[in-house]
Amino acid sequence: MEKRLGKILVVDDDEDVLTAARLFLKQHAALVHSERDPALLAGLLRNETYDIVLLDMNFTRDVSSGSEGFFWLDRILEIDPSSVVVLITAYGDVEMAVRAIKAGAADFVLKPWQNERLLATLMAAMAIRRSRLEVEHLRSRQQILSSDLDQGFQEFIGSSRAMLEVFGTIQKVARTDANVLILGENGTGKELVARELHRQSDRSKEVFFSVDMGALSETLAESELFGHVKGAFTDARDDRPGRFEIASGGTLFLDEIGNLPLSLQAKILTVIQNREVTRVGSNKPRPIDIRLVSATNVPLNILVEQKSFRVDLLYRINTVEISLPPLRERVEDIPLLVDHFLRVYSRKYQKSLSGVTPATMRKLEKYRWPGNVRELQHAVERAVIMSDSTSLQPSDFFLTAHPPGSDTLAIERLNLEEVEKTVIRKALGKHRGNVTQAAHELGLTRAALYRRLEKYAL
């Protein structure tokens, strides 16, 4: 039979109560320990981790007031704040029950108890225990992540003048609530900049929420961003907050904002101006407090000229602009990046690689890197996997040849995937990163093109 309860400790000065509890609970619990002397609680709790402590409120010194129970409850929670304690007594009343729960008990039962009632109470207590453990786990993970993030710029590798200027701008603007627009080609690290802005801001303890605007379908985008109420449309079975509400108090990152349809641009502009959002199907505005960071790989001024992006929205989102240079314009950072990725993937794949040969580095520095840092990262990872030597050789890297301004597709290896990657790059370049237009020319749906972009890490 499945044991639905975990480890239980029963503390009571009545041996008959302990015997009855053991006989009943061993059918449902993974482990049942019992103890008559509460003075031994500290040692028991240090030697074993109990999911539930079933604690009598009255021992020999004071048989009716319950004060001993409250004393030992405090001691248990002092030793282990995540403990779940259920108090038992023969002198229970509503006032004492309220006091017990306010003091930190999970619940309160009277003896003699009914087994079914006791089991139901302990099952509810077990659910509380699981929730507390999950919260502790998440809190520990968050502390570790926060500690890692506090190192600052750890994901940014580079000492070129262009990157130092980016770092300087981030440090100046991060502690403000100014809206920031990040410009840069695919793979240059726009989301890393957004996360660094959040990490260095006064909102760093709150949520950072990222939304890929290009991945949202036009029909669902409004509901995803602003939320909806039950019955607003066919599949709206419950009230649901949108991304703006979820991110309230923290930072909202709208990636590839150039893909926003005009109909949504006006609504987002209203949300930014009024600092409130109205769910789909509702007329009740809800206040929000966000720091907005946006990013695009398309020059928005061109979209403004084409009447496909609102100029007033552009003014709202780009109080400060941060332009990320493509990798081909900071070639001096390539050795640093290669060394970083080589260490990461050598450790991951348990390879003993000392570095790259001078010929290999020359090849990497001459390449144009249309996919920027992301392409370099995946190229190094693939090279580490495929390498049979102690250092990476030029032959370990299979790079497409795509001279600037060239209208031909020159490919070093006649490989179907390489051809498809090159064609996709060319289409994106032709349309200045506009995924919708590139997908149309390639004869693909936008979703299909996004799947390929993710597949090839473009």
3-class state of residue 89 by DSSP: strand
State how far Cα 432 lies from the chain centre: 30
Of the options 3.50.50.60, 3.20.20.450, 3.40.50.10380, 3.40.50.300, the CATH number for the domain spanning 161-323: 3.40.50.300
Name the segment(s) of the chain with CATH classification 3.40.50.300. 161-323
> Residues 315-331: pLDDT tens digits?
999 999 999 999 999 99
Q: Give φ, ψ of 296 to 5 degrees.
A: -155, 150
* Residue 455 confidence (pLDDT): 74
Task: Say whether pLDDT at 111 is over 90.
Answer: no
User: Which residues, other chains included, contact 376 with Cβ-Cβ below 8 Å and sequence gap of 6+?
Assistant: 327, 334, 337, 338, 341, 364, 369
CA 81, 82, 83, 87 torsion: positive or negative?
A: positive
> Residues 57-90: pLDDT tens digits?
876 654 455 577 788 888 888 887 788 999 887 7
pTM: 0.59
Looking at the structure, give the CATH architecture of the domain made up of residues 328-455: Orthogonal Bundle (1.10)
CATH number of 5-140: 3.40.50.2300
Residue 20 token pair: 């009855």
Q: How far apart are CA 452 and CA 406, in angstroms?
A: 23
β 240-241/227-228 pair status: antiparallel
Name the segment(s) of the chain with CATH classification 1.10.8.60. 328-455
Q: How far apart are CA 182 and CA 193, in angstroms?
A: 8
Which of these, 171, 161, 84, lies nearest to 121 by C-alpha position?
A: 84
Task: Say whether pLDDT at 196 is over 90.
Answer: yes
> Residues 336-345: pLDDT tens digits?
999 999 999 9
Placement of tokens 């599949």 in the chain: 235
Lowest mean pLDDT across 53-62, 134-143, 216-225, 366-375? 134-143
Name the segment(s) of the chain with CATH classification 3.40.50.2300. 5-140
pLDDT > 70 fraction of the chain, expressed in percent and rounded: 88
